[in-house]
Structure 1
Amino acid sequence: MPISTRHPALIRAETFCQANDLRIPILLAPMAGACPPSLSIAIANAGGLGACGALLLQPDAIKRWASEVRVASNGGFQLNLWSPDPAPARNAAAEDAVRAFLRNWGPDVAPEAGDVRPPDFAAQCEAMLDAGPAIISSIMGLYPPAFVERMKARGIKWFATATTVAEAKSAEAAGADAIVAQGMEAGGHRGAFDPSKAEAEMVGLFSLLPAVADAVKAPVIATGGIADARGVAAALILGASAVQIGTGFLRCPEANLSPAWADAIGRSLPEQTLVTRAFSGRPGRAIATAYARAATTPGAPPPAPIPCSAG
């Protein structure tokens, strides 16, 4: 069939795949702590794009992850980091209240648990450049201009996550090569640039996606609540060039997820999830377990901020 007579959605998807050496327009979402090399290897070898949520990884671990995936696959993957938050203001009384609350749900949390520090962001950025992926992606904000310049000089593309039209336009203006439009249905953390607005500015994917596609010239990747062919097709028709799937891949054997969690994902209905700050101080969608529900009641202590969250 001549390309001029084919549906625009197919043309967009094929153009994106050709530009990024993919056979199918499906990306693994970069999930911190849930992106083992085995999962990215399987997805890359099936024609999609693997991913590493490198938030918790030290620089050497980022390089090892990339090396392992590259050796066993076609080398197609993205590396991802959160934009770091400012150093939090510590509040000993508030942290004590959180630790006391957590006693209802498990073993005691040591007072020094709040002293944890994330890996050095600048060193992680250097490790990503050294690893040389095809794509580096961002969430929770934008990379500094100097890092974007170095990324582009090495031929690495930048995919920027946005949760609103305004964020998408800011990302494109800063040099993003593609926009990952994250709808409110997404599992895990909301990618809002300003965490204080994250809950107030939640938009469903199929409202956000066409609005972002109309507002930017860069390709748009849809993410949030997509888990089967129906979701993929709908996203492409609404203006996406590709889709990014996270939770939908976690039940694959290559994800190495605990059976208890995999089974819970499989049986949970959409209305059995909620957005909460209870686990990290940043809003994210979680299964509405007894703990998650209790942590969002009016009497529950507010969670400590990242990175000293005891929850």
Structure 2
Amino acid sequence: MKKNYKSYFEANQKRWDELVSHHIKSRYYDLEGFKHGKTSLLPTELKELTNLEGKSLLHLQCHFGMDTLSWARDHGAIVTGLDFSENAIEMARELSDVLEIPATFIQANVYDIPTVIHEQFDVVFTSYGVLCWLPDLTGWAKAVSHCMKSGGRFYIVDTHPYGEMLDERYSDRVSLGYPYTSKNGVPHEWEEDGTYADPEGVTTILKNKTEYGWYHSMSEIINALLQAGLHLEFLHESTKGFFKYHPDMVKRADGLWEFKNMRPEIPLTFSLLARKP
């Protein structure tokens, strides 16, 4: 990365370290259900990322590891998870031990991957609210490629750039309140008392309220992967979300979210699969 983003990363890390203790108690994550065998994975990735039995899988920005462990327990993958939050990685390791699901967890920033990971994987996976914390997608894509075996797969499912623009402050209409892309690497700054895992803000009051994020266009995402030498196999877009983007949204039985009264035909998530030659 050409610019120094250290202060932004440090602020975000403090916030995510604090979020772990709230997320493990939230209905959104349903940790107790997971402990009793419920998968934390959603229908999109379960449909699109298959044939993982015996495959090595690296999960980037894994939070406290529920998805990582789901790939191992339910799909037979040999898993490694990486996240920059110390508290998240400690919790992930604890879950791995308690549930007796073999896994390796590494605390590191994604951009430090070339210096901390020397193994290459059959699959690199990342999902749901990941790209918004990354200022430089060129460096990110190079890190992804660094971890992949020849012929390996990279899969991502995340908020669609259009979905990132939705203004959640208005319940009576669907409007756009945020930019399509960040200019010159300048982050957007938020002051947030709570968390997406508690959208009503009833139970979560945080000390670390400041967070920084970056908006990325679809062309920026795809071009970064292509420039890193990966070959795109598919790109899908969906009107379903993975959290409550807007006050009118409700959670479906399958864990995805959709608008209840309003029916804007706009993409909220995207997924893509790329392969290393």
Shorter-chain TM-score above 0.5: no
Structure with the higher fraction of residues in helix conformation: 1
TM-score (norm 2): 0.37
